Chain A
Amino acid sequence: MDERTAWIALASVDGIGEEISGKLLAVYGSATATLTAANDGRVDAWIAERRRIDGRPPINGPALANLRAMAADPTAPLRDAAQRDLWILTPLDADFPSRLRDLDPPPAIIVGSGNADALRGTRSIALVGTRRPTPAGRLLTTRIATRLVECGAVVVSGLAIGIDGAAHSATIQAGGTTVGVIGAGHDRPGPRAHTGLREDVVESGGALISEYHPRTPPKHGTFPRRNRIIAALGDATLVVEAPIHSGARITATRALEIGRPVFVAPGRVGDWATAGSLAVLRETPARPIVGLDELVEDLGYLAPEQTSDRAVTTAHAALEMLGATEQVVARRLLEGPASLDSLVENTGLAPAVVSSAVTFLLMRGWVQPVGPTYVVAGILVR
């Protein structure tokens, strides 16, 4: 048995976390030695001794049973992973994502599917936020993700409903790469509504990763814990819409703890949807996001080069190409999101005319639906 196999086995024992395995490694010197010690009863003696000193055993009964079972069959986790077509990375591996080594301790294992290179991109940004966004928050997420893709950055998020989902799907739509960090084992990959999204993440060259054995169920604490991985995988963490109690705030804290910059989209004072965002801005060195260009500049990414062969480069020039009614509708949408009802009201055009103009713009990708409203997209955003 090599040390890597033993390491993975030790990290996969249900009931033994990083703290205990760290102690075991300190006592016995290596994972292989720890498993051998579990087999020949020396671990039992150690537990008894610690109990005498500390007054309670460091490992409880069921966890010890799991450890013994694992020691008897240390290749089981590797087989479980192979069976599910998953790969495993450990800090022992040379290709372990260097960003994760900034965590202390780094996650003992990373179980993933898809493209492992996505974890090692030159540019990588964590983009997180609430599970219950407003249409405006969703739209901002989409625009940020699209812009990050243009800058060549991998977008990392947590696969949850809401801002996370919008970040992943906007990245995929813009042709970019995205990494989703699961809050449990791969057998329990998160909301059912995102089944298709998770498939798309992998198919578009991204990765789904977890620090848990595939069979681990989501438990109290597994989701906040994985936030440190999201924070570590990004060179910076961007927060869109965090209410007072929000996992995104935890992610921001973790990022700051390991010295990564945090950017927060500010909200209006008194707005429930962004109360947590404002708290982060007040209490931490996080910086506000005041515009996409400014964000790209703050991140140190060069502004994306305009592709020279594109005939239309500005919203203004794009508008000139449109028919009269489409122009009226597009100009109104440039002022801000609007529903069909309000477009009818504001433009004075007949509902049928507004509808066909909007469909025309949709087909060209110049507007997109966000909830019941439409917003400008594509060329019109520039």
Chain B
Amino acid sequence: MKFSVVVFPGSNSDYDAFYAASHVLGEQSELVWHKDTDLKGADAVILPGGFAHGDYLRTGAIARFSPIMNAVKAFAERGGPVLGICNGFQVLLEAGLLPGAMVRNDRIKFVSQVVPVRVEQTDTPFTAACSQNQVLKLPIAHGEGNYYAPPDVLAAIEQNRQVVFRYTSAAGEVGAQWNPNGSLNGIAGICNHRRNVVGLMPHPERASEAALGSADGRFVLASAVKALASVSR
């Protein structure tokens, strides 16, 4: 299968994602410039972490107008798997491909640490290789990862099982003390109603080999390989 990783000016996890997909998983991967208009035959698309367009105005607010985003939207509308990591998640929110918005972390500080993240749903292309309630050890690094949605939207995404990842203790317990940024309901990642578009603040690509401190992130990218293999069979 082929991963296409979109490169915005200011992306900084593009090569990490490319490396994880190509070298760790051994899948075909290509970097696609944000001014390109096609996804080069992608089976799955990754919007990587970083600070696209300097995060001017709001995180992801300008990146959403990059020419490649028309292709990403069309790909998502056809049911293609799209993963937004950190800044990529913020871009998906601004583009309206995922519900809600990000605001500044409740403690103002940029948080950079490894945190436990519980897998809430396994029926998405990026969690298909995980087990329900599996706790992954993943790094986070963001200043604006405080997920917000109006009460009716929040209730709807919980009801529709669109919360895919949640911040918890290492044992999988939910609580304010394990919420690193003030996200509503401890939300670390969500999917769209159709479940093919997933966004998360943690960085699975930065935790894809034991040498990086955790190899748990492999489950996320390997899920796409598993999900696509089961579709084509």
Q: Do A and B come from one complex?
A: no
Residues of B within 8 A of A (CB): none
